[in-house]
Amino acid sequence: MTKFLIDCDPGHDDAIAILYAAYHLDVVGITTVFGNQTVEKTTYNTLRVLTLAGLDIPVARGCGRPIIGAAPLGDDAHGKTGLDGVDLPEPDRAPVGAHAVDFIIETAQAHRGALQLVAIGAQTNVALALRREPRLAGWLAGISIMGGTAGVGSLKPMACVNVLSDPEAAHIVFSSGVPIRWIGYETTRTVLMTLDDIARLRTGGRVARMMAEIAAWYRERQLAVNGIDGAPMHDSCTLAPFIRPGLIRYEPVPLAVELAEGLARGMTIVDRRPIPPGTRLSSVTPKAPANVEMAVAVDRPALIRDIVDTLLTY
């Protein structure tokens, strides 16, 4: 049976994704990384979420900085703590001793061919693990990624935080040869938990009510910063293909990360030109081979309903 390891930076939508995953899937570990906030804060938030839900999943703390340069944090969307708007319990546990990079490698080795990595923060840990252990790419069953965009952006006009946070890491991961499922911000920003959904969560138990507060704060902030009326479930989208296959439709595409310094640094460039295969023309650069399965359509109501239903079972 497939095991899952979530590399994340909670983060409001990360918190909900962890609970969504843990109920349905065999989550064998969580690793933390900077992104929505510093790695200290995202680790603390992960531990608090697991404590709240009483989930016994090992947490390994990872990288606090990108491979190169400085990291823009996504704190405009998640606040000072990275998980503003809710009073979660203090953690009743600590991270494991191993660094996230080692933990990813060890877990993949223990579950060779059966581990799905879910990368929903900056991809620094995953990239360093791929470099540290060249066999890792062969051990992984796949990586499901939220980050980047094939359209509108978040922190930049056409770029999104998880890839902008560490473009070099994203390049390493996307070019690793591991089978990749990818969903971009242009799609996840439309998968919204609405006020009605939040009201439904408020009718649930303690965990669901806490998640309602998280979603409510996140919605308010999204409305103020991005003009989006709803809490986008960016990160849970990466889990849908394993929990409810069929809710997201994927298509193979070539994807490259722009690393050069310029307006477009940190952009994910997806080749969706409809040029017929085998076309060789001087005025059209050739299409590279597909390296990711890109999410192109989502059954939004069904996915949101499933997330809310799941949170209500806690």
Mark 137-176 with x for binding to other proteins (rule: CB under 8 A) and - for no binding. -------------xxxxxxxxx------------------
Residues between 83 and 122 with contacts to other proteins, criterion CB under 8 A:
none
Among 267, 292, 298, 308, binds other proteins (CB under 8 A): 267
Asked whether position 224 contacts other proteins by CB under 8 A, the answer is yes
Q: Which of 68, 94, 110, 284 binds other proteins (CB under 8 A)?
A: 284
Query: Closest CB to other proteins among 194 and 226?
Result: 226
**111 is a catalytic site residue:** no
Give the rounded distance of the alpha carbon of 220 from its chain centre: 21
Q: Which is nearer to other proteins, 139 or 174 (CB)?
A: 174
Site string for other proteins, 15-54 (x = CB under 8 A): ----------------------------------------
Q: Per rule CB under 8 A, is residue 263 in the interface with other proteins?
A: yes
Q: Which stretch binds other proteins (CB under 8 A): 16-24, 100-108, 281-289, 305-313?
A: 281-289
Nearer to other proteins, 6 or 159 (CB): 159
What DSSP line would sit under the chain, residue for residue? --EEEEEE---HHHHHHHHHHHHHSEEEEEEE-SSSS-HHHHHHHHHHHHHHHT----EEE--SS-SSSPPPP-HHHH-SSSSTT--PPPPSS---SS-HHHHHHHHHHHTTTTEEEEE-S-SHHHHHHHHH-TTHHHHEEEEEEE---SS--SSBTTB-HHHHT-HHHHHHHHTS-S-EEEE-HHHHTTSEE-HHHHHHHHTS-HHHHHHHHHHHHHHHHHHHHH--SSEE-TGGGGTHHHHSTTSEEEEEE-EEE--SSSTTTT-EEE----PPTT--BTTBPPPPPP-EEEEEEE-HHHHHHHHHHHHHT-
Two tokens at 277? 């295969």
**Per annotation, catalytic residue among 78, 99, 171, 234:** 234
Q: Which stretch binds other proteins (CB under 8 A): 1-9, 53-61, 264-272, 295-303?
A: 264-272
Determine the interface stretch with other proteins among 32-40, 132-140, 242-250, 253-261 (rule: CB under 8 A): 253-261
Q: Based on the shown chain and the rule CB under 8 A, indicate whether residue 297 belongs to the binding site for other proteins.
A: no
Positions touching other proteins (CB under 8 A) are: 72, 76, 150-158, 223-227, 254, 256, 258-264, 267, 269-276, 279, 281-285, 287
Residues that are catalytic = 234
